[in-house]
Amino acid sequence: MLLLAIDTSGKNGSLALVRADNPTQAKIGLEWGTQEPTQPGFDVLELVGLEGRMYSAQLIPELQNALARQNLKKSDLDAYAVASGPGSFTGLRVGLSTVKALSEVLHKPIAAVSVLEAAARMTCVNGHVTVAIDAGRKQVFVGDYEIGEDFRVEQALESLVGYEEFFKALNESRAKVFSPDQSVRDAAIAMDVAIGSIASPQADMFARIGYQKIIAGETTPAEILEANYIRASDAELFSLPKLMPSRSND
C-alpha cells in the first residue's frame, strides 16, 4: 500500500509518502523510550516539510516533486491520511481540500487522523495519556486517551480548555501530561505544574495511524470529510447575532 499523508494543521506542516508492505505489523506503534516510530514493512519514502503560510502554494508542487523523485504518479497512490484537526482553520482546509480532490478523482480511501491522537502517539506510552496543544487565546486543545498495548486508541476525549482551568485541574489531579508546544510548557512552569516535552508529530506519524485505520476499515468518504476544529472560527463567532436587547427609540 502506498500512502500519502498530509499535515497542514499548524504553523508548519509536512507531507509523507509511505509504503506499507506488511498489514500484519500495523499494530506496532512506537519503540519504548526512543520516540522513533518503528514498524517492519513500513518505509517512509519521502518526508517533506511545508511552511505554514505557504501551504496553498507549496502542497501540490511538493507532492509532485516527491512523487517524481520516487518515479511515481498520483494514480499510484492507494490511500490518504490527513490531519483533520484541531488546528489552523486555513491550514486544515488546504490539506483536507487537497485530499478530498485526489480521492474524488482517483477513488481511493481516506483516513482522517486527529492531531491530538498523533501527539499522544509521540509520548511512547500505552495506557492513560493526556496531551495539550496550544490553541491561542490562552487556551489549550486537550486530548485524553486510553491507548492499548497495540497502540490503538481505545477511549478518547478531546476538548478546548482555558489555561487557568486546565492548570488548576492538573494541579489537583497530578496527572502526567505532555505537550509539543513550548508556550504551553512555559505557562505550566509559571503555574508550578509539570508537563512533559514531546516532539511535534509529522506526516509520517499521521501515515502510521492512517494505515491502522485504513486496514481496519475506518475510512471517511470524501463528500463528508470535514475538519474537527473543536471551536468555532472567528468568522462564525463574529457572525453570531447580538444578544444585548436593542434600545427603543420612544
The rounded distance, in Å, linking the Cα atoms of 114 and 158 is 9
Is 70 domain-assigned?
yes
Query: 91 and 19, same structural domain?
Result: yes
Query: 103 and 29, same structural domain?
Result: yes
Structure confidence at residue 126 (pLDDT): 80
Query: 173 and 156, same structural domain?
Result: yes
Query: 219 and 187, same structural domain?
Result: no
Q: How many structural domains does the chain have?
A: 2
Whole-prediction pTM: 0.86
Structure confidence at residue 232 (pLDDT): 56
Query: 227 and 177, same structural domain?
Result: no
Query: 111 and 16, same structural domain?
Result: yes
Is 250 domain-assigned?
no
Is 131 domain-assigned?
yes
Query: 31 and 7, same structural domain?
Result: yes
Structure confidence at residue 41 (pLDDT): 74
Side-by-side strand order, sheet with 139-147: 153-162, 139-147, 127-136, 177-179, 196-197
Structure confidence at residue 40 (pLDDT): 53
Q: Which domain holds residue 82?
A: 2-115+200-233
pLDDT < 70 stretches in the chain: 22-40, 174, 232-250
